[in-house]
Structure 1
């Protein structure tokens, strides 16, 4: 059994790491502002679902491939960059009427959820980060290391959900203003598109 002291330290570290500015925070912020708090929470659920993939990858050693294979790392990085470019293109071409969630069927909760999943799973830095971070808290003398990794991954997901959920709730106030101003909607869509392009640039220059 993992000591409560270790869990407490790990949770605090996870919250601090989730609060650090990064692609996931920005993604939740922009989507919440564009489509409202509920949309932000759906994206947050998608991001946390992606963390399940990284947790299992680390627990069963798959993530080692991305640490030792430049080809695998670059392939996943290019997939993530391509998806972000697709989101940027959608944001730049969006009309003000596209802002309302469910109004025209273009921003369903399912699509927002899948955006969150893909955004997280295709970020190779998350896989490498989990590979470097989770093992630091595991103790082989306390049982299966793989199960401990899964437990720590679940705790990290909880911390991420709390932080990203707070971000989506706070940024949701922006959506109330955006829904009443077409000019503001256009500006925000341009900002969102620019943010996505910036994330692509950051991802492309990321090294293992």
Structure 2
């Protein structure tokens, strides 16, 4: 495992995207434990993309514009749904002092969907991993490192957001603006995904 791989991975993982926004919202709305669970869900969502890359399915999807577009538009639709959830102040994105319990399974499922429905991850692995690995076993190992770093960075984002939760809850105007900010972030990410080409 090279320094170049680790540095590139850290840059990619730390750059705010859908998973980071989701984990931040979970930390603010539900606290530290929920943010870690959300980070775990986002990390699990990487597995199908890694498997697709190792087995060659990613190359097939890259060669099939129809398959890419279907996954792409499903991802856009889900991001727009998350934006709507942020605006209506329900679900994971609500920030309330006594938020209704949300099961770990639902939090994980949302995180998994966010990453599964992002075809850019498959394209990234298809272009990224072969530069550092020659065999499927090496790709699996490096993919595992990528997932570990993803979990640690996302969890750090979420726990950091959770540490601000009390200050946010005590300020209704800040809460309202945060909901709009999360909604705008998901819309922007959805638009960026919509205009992504193979």
**So what's the TM-score if we normalise by structure 2?**
0.89
Displacement of 1:29 in angstroms is 2.4
1:99 match: secondary structure: coil
1:35-184 counterparts in 2 under 5 A?
A: 35-94=30-89, 98-100=94-96, 103-105=99-101, 107-139=102-134, 145-184=135-174
Show CA shifts across 1:87-110 (max 9, x none): 111111116xx43488424x3322
Question: How many residues align structurally?
Answer: 196
In 2, are the aligned partners of 1:36 and 1:176 still within 8 Å (CA)? no
For 1:23, which of 7, 18, 21 is the aligned residue? 18
| Mapped partners of 1:44, 1:114: distance in 2 | 11
1:10 aligns with 2:2: no
The gaps in structure 1 that reach 5 residues or longer are: 1-5, 140-144
Q: Which residue of 2 aligns with 1:189?
A: 179
Question: What is the root-mean-square deviation of aligned Cα atoms in Å?
Answer: 2.1
Displacement of 1:167 in angstroms is 1.1
Which runs of at least 4 in structure 1 moved beyond 3 Å after TM superposition?
100-103
Show CA shifts across 1:34-69 (max 9, x none): 332222211110111011111111111111122111
The gaps in structure 2 that reach 5 residues or longer are: none
| Structure 1 residues 101 and 133, CA gap change in structure 2 (3 angstroms) | farther
Displacement of 1:82 in angstroms is 0.9
